[in-house]
């Protein structure tokens, strides 16, 4: 992996935040193009241990052999499951949610950091024994071919989908740009047809402007037209440009305020998160990084953002992690935003993804990051200025009566002072060095 790519680091998922993101992305019908280093070589017996001495990994093979020969339930043994469990057991011993293993299937069918992929451009789910289209992406090959939400995929290239798992369907339907796939589909009215679709590059927008419920409304049900709304689902390579377009339009059009919704945002690429924060700052520290030797690098805002004056309220919840927390801390600590919602996840580490020989990936924690005020938020999270529940994944949430969004609107329309009891960010004695990085 080239150095420039290695340090486009990210959270692409941590603990439950990873699960939340994969629910949204892992079943996208497409093929993700990955760039990276040669897959890491497998460990051999006699491998040096980090703390000295050697570790004999051949014992794992010995255990597998004993199970295959003597275990009462050996007919139910799944070598792949045992192999993945051994990997996860090793990583679980680190007590670090930022270092984790992605199995080959999940790695292959997930949408990667570019925010684009090659495929037909639709998401699927399973309903009983049927593979069903959740929705085609606007302008995608699937949409242009006539695929509609609710369509049942009966066959893929002539092969019946009955009993297929969702990931099996995704792997069969995805493919490189320019190739074709024929889907036999049953539409909502019961009619069936065969559709041959040419796969293409599909872009997944990480920034959208339609609020929950479709229209921005206050607690009284009044439509709000003088505020702008922006949801950032994650931070990919396209995110800064998307954010700058929406934020710049909001400020230039004279909107009284901007709501940035980062609920259920698991993070993403670090450089792109920094560039996103820079859109709202003219100066100041965005974050600092600290490596295992205690060395620090500082990311500072550059002069000339696109939205430097419009008031901002950030919406966060317990699934807002890493990059979402970086942006939250950067705008809050620099006096650019008020925070509403629930306490965030608490992911304060920086990770790289290393491809593995089995087609999976290993995410490794290489540094930790600190807020502009020098706070470490890992396993701590960020408490909003105004704590409001429920959020999108909480019981009782109603997108047509989103109380967190309503509180954000109220704060922009009639600003309230931050309660004296609020502790938005933990404060540590760790100083942020005065030196800047390029």
Q: Active-site residues: which are they?
A: 322, 333, 347
Contacts of 338 (CB under 8 A, 6+ apart): 312, 313, 314, 332, 385, 386, 411, 415, 418
Nearest alpha-carbon partner for 17 in 266, 336, 235: 266
As to burial, measured by CB atoms within 10 angstroms (0-12 exposed, 13-18 middle, 19+ buried), residue 434 is exposed
Beta-strand pair 361-370/207-208: unpaired
Backbone conformation region of residue 87, classed left if phi is above 0, alpha if psi is from -120 to 50, else beta: alpha
Q: Give me 173's structure tokens.
A: 């339907």
Beta-strand pair 257-261/312-316: parallel
Nearest alpha-carbon partner for 217 in 422, 407, 435: 407
Q: Which residue is listed with tokens 């092969």?
A: 159
For residue 385, the Cα-to-chain-centroid distance in whole angstroms is: 24
**Whether the Cβ atoms of residue 269 and residue 236 lie closer than 8 Å to each other:** yes
Helix or strand (DSSP H, E) at 417: none
> What span, in angstroms and rounded, lies between the C-alpha atoms of 373 and 182?
55
| SS3 assignment, position 328 | helix
> What span, in angstroms and rounded, lies between the C-alpha atoms of 252 and 133?
39
What are the b/e assignments for 126-144, b being 16+ CB within 10 Å?
Answer: eeeeebbbebbbeebbbbe
């Amino acid at each position: 992996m080239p150095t420039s790519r290695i340090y486009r680091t990210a959270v692409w998922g941590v603990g439950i935040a990873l699960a939340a993101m994969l629910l949204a992305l892992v079943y996208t019908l497409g093929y993700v193009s990955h760039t990276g280093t040669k897959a890491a070589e497998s460990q051999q017996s006699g491998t040096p241990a980090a703390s000295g001495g050697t570790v004999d990994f051949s014992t794992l093979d010995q255990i597998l052999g004993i199970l295959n020969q003597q275990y009462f339930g050996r007919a139910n043994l799944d070598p792949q499951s045992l192999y993945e469990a051994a990997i996860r057991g090793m990583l679980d011993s680190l007590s670090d949610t930022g270092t984790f293993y992605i199995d080959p299937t999940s790695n292959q069918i997930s949408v990667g950091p570019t925010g684009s992929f090659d495929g037909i451009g639709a998401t699927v789910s399973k309903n009983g024994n049927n593979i069903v289209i959740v929705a085609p992406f606007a302008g995608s090959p699937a949409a242009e071919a006539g695929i509609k939400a609710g369509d049942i995929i009966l066959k893929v290239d002539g092969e019946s989908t009955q009993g297929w798992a969702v990931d099996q369907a995704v792997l069969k339907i995805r493919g490189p740009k320019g190739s074709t796939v024929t889907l036999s589909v049953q539409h909502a009215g019961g009619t069936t047809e065969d559709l041959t679709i040419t796969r293409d590059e599909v872009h997944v927008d990480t920034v959208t402007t339609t609020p929950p419920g479709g229209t921005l409304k206050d607690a009284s049900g009044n439509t709000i037209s003088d505020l702008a709304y922006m949801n950032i689902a994650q931070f990919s390579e396209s995110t800064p440009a998307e954010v700058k377009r929406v934020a710049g339009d909001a400020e230039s059009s004279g909107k009284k305020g901007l709501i940035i919704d980062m609920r259920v945002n698991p993070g993403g690429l670090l450089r792109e998160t920094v560039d996103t924060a820079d859109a709202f700052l003219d100066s100041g520290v965005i974050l600092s990084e600290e490596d295992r030797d205690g060395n620090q690098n500082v990311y500072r805002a550059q002069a000339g953002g696109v939205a430097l004056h419009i008031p901002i309220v950030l919406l966060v919840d317990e699934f807002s992690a890493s990059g979402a927390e970086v942006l939250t801390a950067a705008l809050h600590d620099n006096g650019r935003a008020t925070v509403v919602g629930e306490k965030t996840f608490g992911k304060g580490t920086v990770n790289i993804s290393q491809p593995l020989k089995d087609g999976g990936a290993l995410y490794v924690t290489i540094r930790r990051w600190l807020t502009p005020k020098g706070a470490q938020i890992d396993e701590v999270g960020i408490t909003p200025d105004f704590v409001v529940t429920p959020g999108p994944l909480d019981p009782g949430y109603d997108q047509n009566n989103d109380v967190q969004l309503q509180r954000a609107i109220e704060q922009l329309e009639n600003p309230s002072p931050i309660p004296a009891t609020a502790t938005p960010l933990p404060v540590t004695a760790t100083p942020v060095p005065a030196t800047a990085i390029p």
